[in-house]
Amino acid sequence: MPSAAEKPLAISSLPALLDEAAARFGHHKALDFFGRKLTYAELARLVDRAARGFQKIGVVHGTRVGLCLPNSPYFVIAYYAVLKAGGIVVTFNPLYVAREIARQVEDSGTTIMVTLDVAKIYPKVAAVLETTCLETIIVCSLRAALPLAKGLLFGLFKAKELAKIRRDPKHIRFESLLADHTPMQPVAINPVIDLAVLQYTGGTTGVPKGAMLSHANLTANVAQIADRVPSLQPGRERALMLLPLFHIFGMTAGMNFCISLGAEIVLLPSFDIAQVLNFIVKKRPTLFPGVPSLFATLSNRAARGKFDLSSIRYCISGGAPLPLETRQRFESLTGCKLVEGYGLTEASPVVAANPLDREYKNESVGPPLRDTIVEIRSLDDPTKILPAGERGEVCLRGPQIMAGYWRNLEETKAAFIGGALRTGDVGYLDKDGDLFLVDRIKDIIICNGFKVYPRSIEEALLQHPAVAEAVAIAIPDALRGQVPKAFVTLAPNSEATPHELLHFLAGHLSRIELPRVIEIRASLPKTNIGKISRKDLVLEEAEKAGAAAS
């Protein structure tokens, strides 16, 4: 419970965030897409018209509407419009193949999909129209979203990247959705009860499930983030948004938080290092959420050229552990504060973050956000809550915690213990209540009965000056059950051999923690938010083992 001097967290519907921003900052810039800009007043009007259009095609309370879109104004408009019409947003990764899209459509009951008219996305959505419960595709024009000059150039030189759109009643152009200027029918939203988003995640089992996030879950998390960064100035910030909005980190800590702040959001749909640096220099963002690999890559490139990154004042890093060297180097180049946070889809997503107004504890993700309770439960007996300093499973309570998994009572039951969300992460709280993460339960390597934590190996490798990235996984071993294998990439103009790295690790790790093999690669597989994909490496090793055995 908040103290008498502490106001309760501001919880509302998500459309109310936009309506309030439009009322306070109507003439301020809201979105910038390659120079095509919308003010908050313009954005709010487009959302109202799109909400009316969604209602006309059948969106009512609880209708699931999919967004299969990269970062663009269409995502923001459609997201708030669906919610305002009473629907539930289902986010789809545009990089999914048709089979993955079809599975998620069927599981969620998505009947309407909003997508882009580009050849890399639309055909995959169209392929599932006749074989799933999907009934309608709303097609957005990339050319129309760009400024006039850029749109013409795109039409002249990149027409092959556009998809041929079918003309039938099952296809609706986005501009047609906006054609009706009559007022939308207001929909009553109960923030606590009504679902806002079905966000699919592998959770702790790896099987995709729809985390049910209510309006209250998501707006509470926005308020919790704001509580942790009180120095930000409403109506005066500008954010560079490279994190995908279809990912929960970009959605909450990027889009929803920035809109609640009345910040201008500069949208980038994909990662290109030269373009990102150019945007930072020209657009002068003050906020820049990202993942560790992004900050490391930017630091490496910026250090080799003259790039003014001084406009950036605040960055939050999530999605993966933030190496100390990466944080210190990025802060020295920009003068900003780069803080590490921790979260997961089921928690909307932010759980803890380092505050700006105190000394940063190395390797800590900071204290839990306001009204968030972290319990460390025994790995052997999860009914037992451990005292400070002891390692166990991180379990959570708070207003941002999901209601459960969509139509999956078995997985929902397994995700909670005594009412607390089980994260599958191993960590501990120090005497001050700050959270330290050790590893994922499923990633722990059991070697001769001893627990070996991949993160310990990775952090040791990253202390070597030649190592840019590192990840460790378990591989089978006939004698010890499992042993560690490490993969690394090297920093530019650096050299090292596996033997040299093993010799270096001998002074930092116990014998049982030393990797059996270190593989040096030109690059490591990444997820859609730029996090190193441990899963892909595990699959690679399994395929190698299978091929060797056959």
Residue 546 clears pLDDT 80, i.e. is over it: no
Segment 358-379 mean pLDDT: 93
- Kindly report the CA angle at 511 between 505 and 512, in degrees rounded to 5? 115
Band of the pLDDT at 121, cuts 50, 70, 90?
A: very high
In a domain, 488, yes or no: yes
Band of the pLDDT at 199, cuts 50, 70, 90?
A: very high
Q: How many helices (H) and strands (E) does the chain have?
A: 18, 25
Lowest mean pLDDT among 142-146, 226-230, 247-251, 324-328: 324-328
Beta bridge partners of 350: 343
The Cβ-side half-sphere exposure at 389, using a 13 Å CA radius, reads 1
Domain's final residue, options 397, 423, 441: 441
pLDDT value at residue 485: 96
In what helix (H) or strand (E) does residue 259 lie, and over which residues does it extend? helix 257-261
Q: How far apart are CA 59 and CA 404, in angstroms?
A: 23
Strand positions, DSSP E, 478-549: 481-490, 517-520
Contacts of 402 (CB under 8 A, 6+ apart): 211, 212, 213, 217, 345, 346, 347, 348, 421
Residue 38 clears pLDDT 90, i.e. is over it: yes
Here the contacts of 458-463 (C-beta below 8 Å, separation 24 or greater) are 458/321, 458/486, 459/321, 459/323, 459/363, 460/505, 460/508, 460/509, 461/486, 461/488, 461/501, 461/505, 461/518, 462/323, 462/325, 463/325, 463/508
60 versus 160: the higher-pLDDT residue is 60
From the list 421, 356, 360, the residue with the least C-alpha distance to 226 is 356
Asked if residues 417 and 383 have their Cβ atoms less than 8 Å apart, the reply is: yes
Asked if residues 378 and 392 have their Cβ atoms less than 8 Å apart, the reply is: yes
Type of residue found at 440? R
Residues 401, 474 within the same domain: no
Q: How far apart are CA 5 and CA 10, in angstroms?
A: 15
Asked if residues 45 and 87 have their Cβ atoms less than 8 Å apart, the reply is: no
For the residues of 50-76, what is the DSSP string, one character each? HHHHHHHTT--TT-EEEEE--SSHHHH
The 3-state DSSP class for residue 317 equals: strand
- Kindly report the CA angle at 342 between 422 and 280, in degrees rounded to 5? 150
Peptide bond into 387 cis (omega under 30): no
Asked if residues 467 and 486 have their Cβ atoms less than 8 Å apart, the reply is: no
pLDDT value at residue 156: 47
Band of the pLDDT at 194, cuts 50, 70, 90?
A: very high
From the list 226, 371, 217, the residue with the least C-alpha distance to 287 is 226
The 3-state DSSP class for residue 457 equals: helix
pLDDT value at residue 146: 87
214 to 249, 325, 514, 515: CA distances (angstroms):
16, 38, 45, 43
Tell me which range, 33-42, 141-150, 537-546, is most confidently predicted by mean pLDDT.
33-42
CATH of residue 528's domain is 3.30.300.30
In a domain, 33, yes or no: no
Residues 298, 175 within the same domain: no
pLDDT value at residue 469: 93
Q: What percent of the chain has pLDDT over 90?
A: 71
Asked if residues 14 and 32 have their Cβ atoms less than 8 Å apart, the reply is: no
Look up the domain containing 154 and give its range.
38-189
301 versus 58: the higher-pLDDT residue is 58
pLDDT value at residue 450: 74
Residues 53, 122 within the same domain: yes
Residue 1 clears pLDDT 70, i.e. is over it: no
From the list 376, 423, 420, 425, the residue with the least C-alpha distance to 398 is 420
Residues 142, 231 within the same domain: no
CATH of residue 290's domain is 3.40.50.12780
Q: How far apart are CA 117 and CA 102, in angstroms?
A: 18
Mean pLDDT, the chain, whole residue set: 91
CATH of residue 133's domain is 3.40.50.980
The 3-state DSSP class for residue 176 equals: helix
Q: Which residue has the tokens 């071993």?
A: 477
Q: How far apart are CA 16 and CA 244, in angstroms?
A: 23
pLDDT in tens, 205-214: 556 899 999 9
- Residue 281 is encoded by which pair of tokens? 């220099």
Residue 140 clears pLDDT 70, i.e. is over it: yes
From the list 346, 352, 354, the residue with the least C-alpha distance to 218 is 346
Residues 252, 380 within the same domain: yes
Residue 54 clears pLDDT 60, i.e. is over it: yes
Residue 550 clears pLDDT 90, i.e. is over it: no
In a domain, 20, yes or no: no
For the residues of 3-14, what is the DSSP string, one character each? -TTSPPP----H
Residues 56, 181 within the same domain: yes
Residue 4 clears pLDDT 60, i.e. is over it: no
Segment 504-514 mean pLDDT: 89
Q: How far apart are CA 5 and CA 28, in angstroms?
A: 32
Q: Which residue has the tokens 């702040």?
A: 261
Band of the pLDDT at 158, cuts 50, 70, 90?
A: low
- Residue 318 is encoded by which pair of tokens? 């999530």
Band of the pLDDT at 257, cuts 50, 70, 90?
A: very high
pLDDT value at residue 154: 59
Band of the pLDDT at 7, cuts 50, 70, 90?
A: confident
Residue 2 clears pLDDT 80, i.e. is over it: no
Residues 415, 453 within the same domain: no
Contacts of 234 (CB under 8 A, 6+ apart): 24, 25, 261, 262
Taking the CA atoms of residue 307, residue 468, residue 294 and residue 285 in that order, the dihedral angle to the nearest 10 degrees is -30
Residue 151 clears pLDDT 70, i.e. is over it: no
Residues 455, 475 within the same domain: yes
Taking the CA atoms of residue 58, residue 64, residue 65 and residue 69 in that order, the dihedral angle to the nearest 10 degrees is 180
Here the contacts of 157-164 (C-beta below 8 Å, separation 24 or greater) are 160/119, 161/118, 161/119, 161/120, 162/117, 162/118, 162/119, 163/117, 163/118, 163/119, 163/121, 163/122, 163/123
Domain's final residue, options 391, 412, 441: 441
In a domain, 21, yes or no: no
Residues 474, 384 within the same domain: no
Q: pTM of the full predicted structure?
A: 0.85
Residues 434, 460 within the same domain: no
pLDDT in tens, 55-109: 999 999 999 999 999 999 999 999 999 999 999 999 999 988 898 899 999 999 9
pLDDT in tens, 458-478: 989 999 999 999 999 999 887
In a domain, 384, yes or no: yes
Contacts of 61 (CB under 8 A, 6+ apart): 86, 87, 187, 194
In a domain, 12, yes or no: no
Domain's final residue, options 417, 441, 465: 441
Residues 148, 230 within the same domain: no
Residues 232, 373 within the same domain: yes
In a domain, 23, yes or no: no
Q: Into how many domains does the chain fold?
A: 3
Q: How far apart are CA 350 and CA 250, in angstroms?
A: 11
In a domain, 526, yes or no: yes
Asked if residues 541 and 519 have their Cβ atoms less than 8 Å apart, the reply is: no
